[in-house]
Amino acid sequence: MDTKPGDIVLWSDLFLVVVNKPSGLLTLPDGYDPALPYISQLLEPEFGRMWIVHRLDKDTSGLLVLARTAEAHRFLNTAFETRQVIKVYHALVAGCPEWDERRVGLPLRVNGDRQHRTVVDARKGKPAITNLRVLERFSQWALIEASPETGRTHQIRAHLAVAGFPILGDALYGRDEGQFIQRVALHARSLAFPHPVTGEVISFQAPYPEDFIRVLELLRKQI
């Protein structure tokens, strides 16, 4: 992957770096193949030591904030834990919901089956809430906005799948839909959080990557 910091950095100051992560780039080093590129490895030559605040799956594109100081890292960790951060994702899904908005509050257990998926588990699962809104409908697909109130691993993917609308390209939770896209069609669209020094709420929006735009345009032709 030939990605340079200038290709992905949306904003930075002495305390934070906000990036539009491309699909295929890891948030953290791979435990099995440490040679695979990851986000802080890419940024640290220019920005110095980075602290990971939150994660995106390798396939997921979109907004990621990294801390440049230990103090900023602690502040943002607390902000995420106390739900002071507003995260909005866009997903292209199989199926066309009849509802406009839906709140999914099913508890989730991470690594809950032989496929290491996050599964609904009323007894052992942890609380998980995802707010869903239909942004656009197509003949057999939809563009959905997902706003998670909690941060469970694979939460949006699991909640959409159990709702009957798996994300395109998500072979783990639905079907591959490889004729449209070669990865999970999930994009971290917007992010808002308090700045660790000023306390001012700052917000960002990440444009869709080319593969997401291409599928969206294809689906619009099939309405």
The pair of structure tokens assigned to 83 is 């739900």
Clarify whether 100 is annotated catalytic: no
Residues near 219 by beta carbon (within 8 Å), at least 6 away in sequence: 92, 138, 141, 143, 180
pLDDT, the chain, mean: 94
* 133 Cα distance to chain centroid: 16
* Nearest by Cα to 90 from 26, 134, 55, 128: 134
State percent of the chain over pLDDT 70.
Answer: 98
**pTM, two decimal places:** 0.94
Residues near 73 by beta carbon (within 8 Å), at least 6 away in sequence: 51, 53, 67
Tell me the pLDDT tens digit for each residue of 143-179.
999 999 999 999 999 999 999 999 999 999 987 666 7
Catalytic-labelled residue, pool 2, 57, 121, 211? 57
Domains in the chain (CATH in brackets) are 5-220 (3.30.2350.10)
